[in-house]
Copies of this chain bind each other. A is one copy, B any other.
Amino acid sequence: MKRYLFRNDYSFGAHPKVMDAVCAVNLEGNWGYGDDGYTARAKERIREVCGCPDAMVEFLVGGTQTNVVACAFLLQPWQSVICPTSGHLNGHEVGAFEATGHKIIPVEVGGDGKITPEMLPPVLEWHQDPHLTQPKLVYISNATENGAVYTKAELTALSDFCRKNGLLLFVDGARLGAALTSPANDLTLPEFARLVDAFYIGGTKNGAMFGEALVITRPELTDGFFRMKKRMGAVMEKGWIQGVTFLTLFGEDELYFSMARQGNEMAARLQDGLRAKGWTLWVESPTNQVFAVIPNEVKARVDEVCDCEVWCPYDEDHTVIRFVTCFHTTQADVDGLLSALPNL
């Protein structure tokens, strides 16, 4: 491995507080499958921080699994998902959602990766034809795959449109912590939760060993969920690990948010530093992903210094690369990386 590891936000394990909490209960003995007290309390705590006393909360293992189980659960077989072309569900999950028998309707979006209400009426009109699937759920990510954050006005407009048109609104929250602690954000978690029908709070990318907390805010939509989860191979035998993890993430110290804030701040510092070194940013990201456009021949020099990812080609001569920070990224890491990278 390289000295600087900015490849993604799952390069490190759990925050030490999470690890300690899991170790503390390791051999005390608990019922399996989430039928334990930690899990019950963690669910209750998540309902509380979301301001959704009636919501269903269930823990799953990873992001792809959570997206797939939740979206398939919420749809009838002939119903489809509207998803940004760049959405994780569409682009990065080996057809895991199609494997449940559902079609994705990809929507071309801008560089921020966001869906806006204006994009939807043509899709709905076109799909009134019963020889096409019935679009029923809008899938978005917050933060988006490109690091952008939905504002309160944007999410409200999208939510209103969905509710008027009988569409469910689902948010992939793999980086929800980064979104809600971003300077670009003006939503509280309860405000956010009120605007959507289902979402998950990503643990894996923010300080858990693993684990995502799926929240379905409308109880009338939740019948049968546990069986669906089991049917998809998504029930952990030692479920209390997820319970203990989320109890720790949402303890009084608000660890979940402080970790996310740390990631965001380090990304901002890196972004500023790159700009100062003459680098071109692909997008201005207010969260923990930083995207830079570099001449192709510079890539090898970057690789000598750090682990990061090629995101996509930019043009024949340039490439977009991505640096990701996380709870474990320090100022020293960022400053070290910056001084090791070439000026451009």
Interface residue ranges, A against B (CB under 8 Å): 1, 5, 7-8, 10-14, 16, 19, 22-23, 25-33, 61-65, 68-69, 72-73, 76-80, 91-96, 98-104, 106, 130-134, 204-205, 209-210, 224, 226-228, 230-238, 241, 307, 328
Contact = CB atoms under 8 A, between A and B. Distances in A.
Given A62-B236, A98-B98, A99-B77, A93 B11 contact: no
Contact of A102 (B95, B226, B227): B95
A32 B11 contact: yes
Given A227-B94, A231-B94, A12 B32 contact: no
A227 B31 contact: no
For the complex formed by this chain, how many copies does it contain in all? 4
Nearest to A237: B10
11 contacts: A5-B29, A7-B32, A10-B32, A11-B29, A11-B32, A13-B27, A94-B227, A95-B133, A98-B101, A134-B224, A210-B238
Given A64-B235, A65-B233, 15 more contacts: A11-B29, A27-B328, A62-B233, A76-B224, A77-B100, A78-B95, A78-B227, A92-B132, A94-B103, A94-B227, A96-B232, A98-B101, A130-B226, A210-B236, A210-B237
A11 B23 contact: no
Contacts of A68: 233
Nearest to A227: B78
A13 B31 contact: no
Given A224-B134, A228-B78, A230-B131, A13 B22 contact: yes
Contacts of A28: 12
B103 A101 contact: no
Contacts of A1: 29-31
Given A95-B103, A233-B234, A134 B227 contact: yes
B133 A64 contact: no
B231 A78 contact: yes
A337 to B, nearest CB: 13
Nearest to A30: B11
Interface centre among A11, A22, A78, A134 (most CB of B within 10 A): A78
Given A69-B233, A237-B10, A131 B210 contact: no
A78 B94 CA distance: 7
A72 B62 contact: no
A227 B92 CA distance: 11
B224 A78 contact: yes
Nearest to A29: B5
A30 B264 CA distance: 21
Nearest to A4: B29
B93 A230 contact: yes
A81 to B, nearest CB: 10
A23 B17 CA distance: 12
Contacts of A65: 233-234
